[in-house]
Chains A and B, each alone.
Chain A
């Protein structure tokens, strides 16, 4: 298995531009999570999906952020318009329902820099 695949690995953009981050979860996993990592706030859960349905988006910072999961093998996190404070590493993770708490498998992350 190729693991969780994220693209792009690095993105540099200017303030006000739209940014789209992509994620392909592990085949057969029915949960997908988007996390953001910054020096100031650490690792924060933004949103998670179960069977392609958003379950909890309480961590999404504001309306500029949106996430979709059109099918079991693809998810996007979009920021429009982007701002310098959005600069962070964005991780996608997936898991499958087991006994108790799921073990998340993380992707390599997408490092976003907004100038």
Chain B
């Protein structure tokens, strides 16, 4: 069973638009961590955020914000006023207590294209 689902394969927006990337996860553990990573065209995976299952407080970092809702098993990522430099593939990932938090399971990624 897929543990992390990113249903949006690709999203195209025009610069300055807001965009939300969806992430739905599945786990039986009560303690787990969720992550978002960015993979720009250069190919390297860049860490964006880590959130544990006990902290449902939404987080904002500049133009980035994350909405964690345990009731719907979702951890969505919103970019406000998108820029061309935001073009990348974004991955949501899950780490569970059952694996000692060492196994990071990734979703299939959402490719975001921001055009000028």
Contacts and interface: CB of A to CB of B under 8 A. Distances in A.
A56 B46 CA distance: 24
Contacts of B106: 42-43
Q: How large is the interface on B (under 10, 10 to 19, 20 to 34, 35 or more residues)?
A: 20 to 34
Contacts of B16: none
Contacts of A45: 103-105
Interface stretch (B19-27, B37-45, B59-67, B75-83): B37-45
Contact of A43 (B44, B46, B91, B102): B91
A34 to B, nearest CB: 12
Contacts of A109: 43-44
Interface residues of A, number: 23
A103 to B, nearest CB: 5
A6 B31 CA distance: 33
B33 A100 contact: yes
Interface of A: 31, 33, 42-43, 45, 48, 50, 55-56, 89, 91, 93, 100-109, 111
12 contacts: A33-B104, A42-B107, A42-B108, A43-B106, A45-B104, A101-B32, A101-B33, A102-B101, A103-B35, A104-B47, A105-B47, A107-B44
